[in-house]
Amino acid sequence: MPEVTVREFQPGDGEALAQIIRENTGYYANLAPDYFKQADAEGLPEFVESDNEWRAAPENFGRIAEVDGEVAGYIEATIQAPMDTAQWQSQRDLAAPRLFIGFVQTSDRFKRMGVATHLVEAAEEWGRQNGAKVATCDTYIDSPMSVPFWEKRMGYTRRAIVLRKQL
């Protein structure tokens, strides 16, 4: 397994991250074209680079994984504050700070080499340090790669089902 370094996003990472996004959106577009599409290449590096305001917010976590100086993956996570209405909600988790992992992607060259594991572990540790009591994420249920990663590798359990109907 290669040595993985998790670091903050730096100016100039946008090009490599855009390539990773294209690879990953292509995976899902091929897997389920009725639900997913590949991200447009035009303007994507600039879009990624322009997200500094989000990354700078104290409740947000955006990190790059690097292998031998090469951008190998990226994660975005957010600390969600306890809900003011938690006492009237049925979900226990809503009464405490929660880490929501919204985005984890790995370059095709580095898949199944521990890159995503390092990123998720870094986000979980950051979440614990910032008061999160639970971590959540969502993923496409029919993905033969992401579902086993979350359940078997990272120890997450299914808690909900998102239903969809075309109108």
The yes/no answer on whether domain 4-153 falls in CATH 3.40.630.30 is: yes
State both tokens at 33.
Answer: 């074209």
pLDDT (tens digit, 9 = 90+) per residue, 109-143?
999 999 999 999 999 999 999 999 999 999 999 99
| pLDDT-based confidence at residue 53 (cuts at 50, 70, 90) | very high
CA 146 vs. chain centroid, Å, equals: 11
Nearest to 104 by CA among 62, 75, 67, 63: 75
pLDDT given for residue 162 in this prediction: 87
Residue 2 confidence (pLDDT) = 83
3-state class (DSSP) for residue 26: helix
- CA–CA dist 17, 19 (Å, integer): 5
Question: Tokens 């990663």 label which residue?
Answer: 149
Whole-model pTM? 0.94
Residues 6+ apart with CB under 8 A from 29: 36, 37, 38
Q: How far apart are CA 93 and CA 34, in angstroms?
A: 32
